[in-house]
A and B are shown apart, each in its own frame.
Chain A
Amino acid sequence: MRVLPILAGALLLAACTSAPQTSKAGSTSKPVVYVAVGASESVGVGLTDPLVGAWTQRFYRDSLKPSAVFVNMAVPASTAMQALQAQVPTAASLKPTVATVWLNVNDVFDGVDPVVYGRQLRSIVSTLSRGGAATVLVANTPPLQLLPGYLNCLSGQERATRTFSCPTPVPTATALQAVVAAYNAQIASVTSSTGALLVNLNAAYTAAERGGTTASLVGPDGINPSNAGQALVAHAFAAALARAHSAS
């Protein structure tokens, strides 16, 4: 009967030694507060387990220290304009030290002018950065012309999900590419002028596309990322943060 506690003790010991997080837990020099601003992709719409698989949760879990606090303010179907009104005030009130912004897919499909979008994004980023107190990471727009959802719209097989319905009229692939390029130019301009970190999702997706894995990166609704896509995005954000850390 005395074996039980010994066994439990041994398990505890084993558990302790195999959990490196506990050793890092002590180093809480400055509390990290992370807020995510975004749309359905950032919520993990379409995933079986969004809290496990969403890139925001992954980024929080894998790239920030154990004591970090995380609030995901993302609202599905949100445009930059809507986020500025509904997400950013609460997000800024949390006094974040790290903020991520991925807002562009809905704006593109809603036909928001790139310049107007650029202004709204600049407002979002400057509010969140609070004069440089927060590290803000901003994602640019992936190559949307390859999305199965868009391709379905183009071929006339209209499909709508809760978060996505085909734009009218459906732009051609070339036109869409041009809009995406214009958006990404605005995003690059905002990040370079505000000191925010650019997360080049377009490049990450393009690289994956060359590797021939694009299809598996998109979930069943044809728009939102699959688990693999979420992992790719999380990795891109993590890499951008790591680059910034190693640079400073």
Chain B
Amino acid sequence: MNWADAFHLAVRSVLRRPGRAALTVTAVALAAALFTAMLTMAATAQGRVLNQLANGGPLAGIQVAAAAANPSQLGSDNPTQGAPKPITQATRSHINQLPGVVSVLPIVTAQTLVLWPNHAVAPTARGGPDQSRGVVFDEMVGIDLEHAADLPITVLEGHLPAPGSLTEVAVTPALLSKYGIGRTHVASALGAVVELGAPRGFRDPDGFRAFRSRWTRATIVGVVAEEAGSGGVLTSLPQATASHAWTAAGDPTVDSDAPRSPYAGLFVSARGLGQVSQVRSEITRLGYSTSAPENIITTVERYVHVVEIVLAGVGVIALAIAALGITNALLAAVRERRREIGILKAVGARDRDVLRTFLIEATVIGAVGGLIGTIVGLLLARIVAAVVDGYLASQGLAGVHVGIPYLLVLAAVAGSAGLSLLAGLFPARRAARLPAREAVEL
């Protein structure tokens, strides 16, 4: 009997007892679902945690601050910074040529008044010198928006400003909270037009200190969580550069806090996590303070791996129980079909024909159960992710992303089928050894 004929006979035999087949398939499916859901969730959680640690940027990202290096900074992910030290175009190109560096993205920050005409400022944000309605003081963070994906920025609502745009901005929930807009309502800010005023310190003829602002208007097109700079307004590079230039040219006796460094910082991407240390020490040699979540990422990766092993272990135990269920069901089938097996042998079936048929039965049950279970498991993971997303959204955080881990799907289906094949081995051998005499009643 060839494989195709054996498969045909096996499928017919499985279908003859649809109830039992369904139960056995369900057991395998449940186990596979558990297995898949657990691994998918573990992988998703790992991605989410690492993404959180890297603030949505690349894992091998290094932030260079416009400050002098602290001698002991290499041992720490977030060292305290030294005295201000300007980052210039020359610094940028120098770092770009360091070995292990993939890209260097400039970050320009500028002080800014944010004027939202006719929008009340939340009581907690009032106070300070300027209590005008609708005006809060914040910082503008200008980035190369074409490479926003390589920076620690997560879009919560809407989208990022168009690269080079002077009339679009994204804002952070922290800025919106100054206007009394809670984290669950940040989307309501989209489409609003705000006026941004970069202040410049002047000494008036009468000796008074005065600030005159360079105003621009912009539409809020997105709400983002960003760690590229410390500001609440994310803009294009030219927008922030113009604002910075206006403020930096002010009278230093009036505004000593005005940032003078052309670049507030650089975001350096190393080739991989392993290169981060080396690149950081090179930048330290240039005298700049750096920070990178390398240590914590490595630690978390290690922990998550342990969790994955434990979860996979639970899944494997479930699959083993399901496999025992297959063994049991097949043993019952063998006992029930003694006469049929005898008949099959009486009409000339060899031991291996019978063995093959039963093994195929087991494998078919395992594969079908594995497939159904994997699909259910992925759906389960998606449902959990949706619930978690809802929670994260209510906290004003970026949601999780569940991809379809094709390799995992393949492994789960193949694994279930393989395990079932093993589970079928014992009953199949027993069936194969039944004598042909079972066909007749003696």
Classify A-B as touching or not with yes or no (CB < 8 A): yes
Residues of A whose CB lies within 8 Å of any CB of B are 1-2, 4-5, 7-8, 11-12, 14-16, 18-19, 21-22, 25, 28, 48-52, 57, 60-61, 66-73, 75, 77, 82, 85-86
Residues in A whose Cβ lies below 8 Å from that of B132: 48-52
Determine if A69 and B215 form an interchain contact, defined as CB atoms under 8 angstroms apart: yes
3 smallest CB-CB distances across A and B, nearest first, come from: A15-B191, A1-B390, A25-B167
Nearest-Cβ distance from residue A217 to partner chain B, whole angstroms: 21
The CA-CA distance from A52 to B117 in the complex, in Å, is 6
Determine if A21 and B193 form an interchain contact, defined as CB atoms under 8 angstroms apart: yes
Please give me the residue from chain A that is nearest to B394 by CB atom.
Answer: A4
Residues in B whose Cβ lies below 8 Å from that of A8: 157, 187
**Interface code B305-337, partner A: CB below 8 Å = 1, 0 otherwise?**
000000000000000000000000000000000
Q: Which of A57, A66, A77 contacts B193 (CB 8 A)?
A: A66
Nearest-Cβ distance from residue A68 to partner chain B, whole angstroms: 7
Residues of B whose CB lies within 8 Å of any CB of A are 113, 115, 117-118, 132-135, 157-158, 165-168, 187-188, 190-193, 195, 197, 204-206, 210, 212-219, 221, 242, 246, 386-387, 389-390, 393
Contact A67/B166 with A1-B389, A4-B393, A48-B133 known, Cβ cut-off 8 Å: yes
Q: Which of B115, B157, B214 contacts A69 (CB 8 A)?
A: B214
Determine if A11 and B188 form an interchain contact, defined as CB atoms under 8 angstroms apart: yes
Determine if B167 and A73 form an interchain contact, defined as CB atoms under 8 angstroms apart: no
Nearest-Cβ distance from residue A138 to partner chain B, whole angstroms: 20
Nearest-Cβ distance from residue B293 to partner chain A, whole angstroms: 28
Residues in A whose Cβ lies below 8 Å from that of B157: 8, 12
Determine if B217 and A1 form an interchain contact, defined as CB atoms under 8 angstroms apart: no
The CA-CA distance from A28 to B214 in the complex, in Å, is 18
Residues in B whose Cβ lies below 8 Å from that of A1: 386-387, 389-390
Determine if B191 and A52 form an interchain contact, defined as CB atoms under 8 angstroms apart: no
Contact A51/B135 with A15-B190, A15-B191 known, Cβ cut-off 8 Å: yes
Q: Give 27 pairs: A residue, B residue, CB < 8 Å, sorted on A.
A: A1-B387, A1-B390, A5-B393, A11-B188, A15-B190, A19-B219, A21-B167, A21-B193, A21-B219, A22-B167, A22-B168, A49-B133, A49-B134, A51-B115, A51-B134, A51-B135, A51-B195, A51-B197, A67-B167, A67-B216, A69-B214, A69-B215, A69-B216, A70-B215, A71-B214, A72-B213, A75-B205
Residues in A whose Cβ lies below 8 Å from that of B133: 48-49, 52
Determine if A52 and B219 form an interchain contact, defined as CB atoms under 8 angstroms apart: no
Nearest-Cβ distance from residue B134 to partner chain A, whole angstroms: 6
Please give me the residue from chain A that is nearest to B222 by CB atom.
Answer: A12
Nearest-Cβ distance from residue A71 to partner chain B, whole angstroms: 5
Determine if B214 and A66 form an interchain contact, defined as CB atoms under 8 angstroms apart: no
Contact A52/B217 with A4-B390, A12-B190, A67-B166 known, Cβ cut-off 8 Å: no
Please give me the residue from chain A that is nearest to B391 by CB atom.
Answer: A1
Nearest-Cβ distance from residue A148 to partner chain B, whole angstroms: 25
| Inter-chain residue pair count (beta carbon < 8 A) | 108
The CA-CA distance from A49 to B126 in the complex, in Å, is 13
Q: Which of A12, A22, A73 contacts B212 (CB 8 A)?
A: A73
The CA-CA distance from A29 to B214 in the complex, in Å, is 20
Determine if B191 and A28 form an interchain contact, defined as CB atoms under 8 angstroms apart: no
Contact A61/B219 with A21-B193, A22-B191, A71-B213 known, Cβ cut-off 8 Å: no
Please give me the residue from chain A that is nearest to B193 by CB atom.
Answer: A21
Nearest-Cβ distance from residue A215 to partner chain B, whole angstroms: 24
The CA-CA distance from A48 to B212 in the complex, in Å, is 18
Residues in B whose Cβ lies below 8 Å from that of A71: 212-215, 246
Residues in A whose Cβ lies below 8 Å from that of B188: 11, 15
Contact A12/B215 with A21-B193, A51-B132, A52-B115 known, Cβ cut-off 8 Å: no
Determine if B212 and A72 form an interchain contact, defined as CB atoms under 8 angstroms apart: yes
Contact A66/B113 with A51-B134, A52-B118, A73-B212 known, Cβ cut-off 8 Å: no
Nearest-Cβ distance from residue B393 to partner chain A, whole angstroms: 5
Please give me the residue from chain A that is nearest to B390 by CB atom.
Answer: A1
Nearest-Cβ distance from residue A213 to partner chain B, whole angstroms: 23
Most buried by A among B113, B158, B168: B158
Please give me the residue from chain B that is nearest to A19 by CB atom.
Answer: B191
The CA-CA distance from A194 to B115 in the complex, in Å, is 35
Residues in A whose Cβ lies below 8 Å from that of B197: 51
Determine if A22 and B205 form an interchain contact, defined as CB atoms under 8 angstroms apart: no
Nearest-Cβ distance from residue A167 to partner chain B, whole angstroms: 19
The CA-CA distance from A67 to B206 in the complex, in Å, is 34
Please give me the residue from chain B that is nearest to A77 by CB atom.
Answer: B206
Contact A52/B134 with A61-B217, A67-B166, A75-B210 known, Cβ cut-off 8 Å: yes
The CA-CA distance from A48 to B118 in the complex, in Å, is 12
Please give me the residue from chain A that is nearest to B197 by CB atom.
Answer: A51
Q: Which of B167, B191, B221 contacts A18 (CB 8 A)?
A: B191
